[in-house]
Structure 1
């Protein structure tokens, strides 16, 4: 069992991940923006702090992190306005890294994005900016000195997971359910032999537990 702090606990992947971690017996904490979200998660046995990542200080975030075994950052702007992208995907990750160091939390998992996503389309300036900021965040975490993990899923879709994936240092860009991303991340967080690695994730034919074990090095 582990104590895990989720930034993005109310998001598409984060909510599913929180439920899976709770089912495994983990302590799940997180950051929410509203009191009603805090009450909803408290009813599910999860302790959250109300705060805005874009305005919280590093010290405030570190205070929330203390005691955690790992930080999971799955929040994201999904290619929205530049201001939100910079505040969440850029400055938010940088702030969380600094707070993790201050709180003495070594393990830090970041849900990123496959660099090839939607390359066949005219994405527009804001989405291109989103990809650039996500890459900068990946680089910042990889140079942080923490025991980091970067997971890059392909196009996220809703619906039930299949329980089988393709996971490795380089994968094709297809699509994958948020449920399978959450299941894979839950398994990765409980595999201490995987660290300081970038792993890409796509739909596939390998059971998630086997796919994770295959990436132990």
Structure 2
């Protein structure tokens, strides 16, 4: 399998490009508008055909590249069924399979960070990895105080869906702010300070008292992303 992880320093966003090999069809997850040319260069140099571009949720800290990539490659843009972004080409529901030339992604509805967040399990018959968007981060979790976020739903999504994946499953989040690039379900169960050894009530209390400022691009990014980043 061909796998590339890209990083946008401004928003600390990870983007993932996957294909079964050079010269094959490809899928990209959580692309950032300012990095679109970098993705297109990589796609060209590896002789790939981008056929799917996925956002795990409506991001508030950067503008998506979904629209730009669709315009450049005619790929199908995809989000979960509860998104308000009417511009996307297709939607997934719980347990839908996105199959791109043998790269299989199972959709999991994992609300909490937003009310429309989805995660995607790679090769779900024998899970290799899960792309968690913002609901589960490395030694952290996505905030739950805007865009329909809910700490109870976040807890449920993480403990009753993501944490039921095999412990060796790699966790690929949409963000990291400390330089970590990947984790695993086992690591997050054991070492995530918001979750390990905590009750749901304790987790909810933590999330309700983060007192974080709004993302600096929120007022720009959310409306733009509802238009797939192309206005």
- TM-score of the superposed pair, with normalisation by structure 1: 0.39
> Higher helix proportion, which one?
1
- TM-score of the superposed pair, with normalisation by structure 2: 0.37
